[in-house]
């Protein structure tokens, strides 16, 4: 099992984790939690792409030397952890 697979397995088995999505910079789903429907994964990927693009712009407007790396978003019963790749 690869290091990526081991990490995803550890995340998947962590208490409270309902799912995960790995998408490329275009919002194309590369991997998703086994219990997550593809349509849901695609919806999350699309929204996160839009959100990270806007957030990255704000970060760069504040200081052009900085770049967005990670966001943590808490909503009533859900917490989203978003890592923005290069």
The pLDDT value given to residue 86: 54
- The pTM of the whole model exceeds 0.75: yes
The pLDDT value given to residue 84: 77
Distance of CA 77 to the CA centre of its chain: 17
CA distance 49 to 32: 15
Structural domains of the chain, with CATH: 3-83 (3.30.450.30)
Cβ 56 vs Cβ 68: under 8 Å: yes
Average pLDDT, 10 consecutive residues per value, the chain (86 residues): 87 87 91 94 95 94 94 90 78
């Amino acid at each position: 099992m690869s290091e990526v697979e081991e990490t995803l397995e550890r995340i998947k088995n962590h208490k409270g984790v309902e799912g995960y999505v790995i998408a490329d910079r275009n919002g194309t789903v590369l991997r998703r939690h086994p219990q997550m429907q593809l349509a849901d994964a695609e919806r999350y990927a699309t929204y996160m792409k839009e959100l990270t693009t806007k957030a990255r712009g704000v970060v760069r407007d504040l200081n052009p030397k900085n770049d967005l790396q990670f966001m943590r978003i808490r909503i009533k019963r859900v917490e989203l952890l978003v890592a923005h790749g290069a």
